[in-house]
Every structure is written in C-alpha cells, then in structure tokens.
Amino acid sequence: MRIAEKVERVGAVLDELYPETPIPLKHRNVYTFMVAVLLSAQTTDKKVNQVTPTLFDRASTPSEMAALEVDDIRDIIREIGLAPTKAKNLKRMAEQLVERHDGEVPQTFAELEELAGVGHKTASVVMVQAFGIPAFPVDTHIHRLSARWGLSNGRNVVQTERDLKRHFPENEWARRHLQIIYFGREHCPARFHDLNECPICSFAASKARIRAERQG
C-alpha cells in the first residue's frame, strides 16, 4: 500500500471513530492548561484531572502559583508521578512567567521551551491546542502507533514528528494528535494486541510487523 493511501485510510478511520476531539485535560485558562500538560508527563490524564481542581482553587494564575511554597504544591499533586520535581518546576515556571512575561503564557516555541519543566512536546501541545498554532505533539502513544502503522521508522520522537508533519496536512495536525492518542488508549494497546483485528493495524501494519508482535 502506498503511504499516501495508507495515510488517507488512517485518517478516515480516525474521523469515523472520533469526529469530535475534546481536550482531555481539565483546565480554566491557557496557564492552567499548560500546568495540566506539564503534570501529565508519565501520569494518566485521569489522575491529573483528579488533582488539578484542588491545585487550581489555590492557584489558577502564575502569580498565585509563585506565591505557594514548593511543599504546598507537592502535597497537592503528591499522587502524580515525579511530584517533587514537578512541584519545583511549577513554582519556578510561575516565577518566570511573572518575571519575564507579565504573567502571560508566551506564544512562541523558543519562549515556552525556556520555562522550567516545559520541553518540546509540552510546548507543542500548548501551541496547537491553546493558541491554534500548527504543531504535531508526539507522545508515547503517537510514537508507538506511528511505528506500528509504518508511518515512521520509530527511531525517536523527533523523527516521528517530522514524518507525521510530512504525511498529514497542516490543518489536520491538531485533531490527528488527539485522535491517535484516543485510538491508542481505546483500540491499540502496547501489549497483547491482535494487529489483525485492529481497525487500523489490520491494513496499516506490515506482515513483518504483525509477525514480530505476535512472536513478541
């Protein structure tokens, strides 16, 4: 199957399954959205959504977050993975936003990635979902499925992002990002997955890939 045909079929399945793509992380404004994205690293969205209401009641702006002690932040988010590091980053990020950006979330990759705890993936999510600026964030689900479907060689997330941007039109990036995440969670798990029965793997994965995963 030619890659263009595969991409079109993948997109059709995703659009049929997920015609709407709501943002799964609860938030109150652009700043709290960025906080939620930062917290979601190595943690489920469900767990993040359980702790952020309390956190946002205490601090829903950078100035309010900067006024909290690191220990207070850590206590609120303690059930989230890497809580001590994330608490330090949240306080420092809030201080940076107040000091450098008048308490506003910047709208460039360079400025976002200078903030404590904000890497390229987090910056990409904020850019595309909060500001509508084209980006294709790649998380573990997207990286894994892109390799499984033969849309990227799977060597690293940088290459996967580059490949997906080349395959999908720019105006689809925002929804494809969320659709693939949803699909990975609901239809395409990393382990004990029958690729022949999968709505996408059944036509997108190579025979060699199907054999390898069956044996693995």
- As given in the structure block, the two tokens for residue 31 are 């700043």
> If residue 55 lies in a helix (H) or strand (E), which one and from where to where?
helix 45-58
88 is a catalytic site residue: no
| CB-based contacts of 15, cutoff 8 Å, min separation 6 | 179
Exactly one of 6, 72, 139, 165 is catalytic; which is it?
139
Exactly one of 121, 163, 165, 194 is catalytic; which is it?
121
CA distances from 106 to 39, 114, 151, 162, 200 (A): 19, 10, 32, 24, 37
Separation of alpha carbons 94 and 56, rounded Å: 13
Sign of CA dihedral 36, 40, 45, 50: negative
Extended beta strands in 104-199, E state: none
Placement of tokens 């689900």 in the chain? 141
121 is a catalytic site residue: yes
Query: Which residues form the catalytic set?
Result: 121, 139
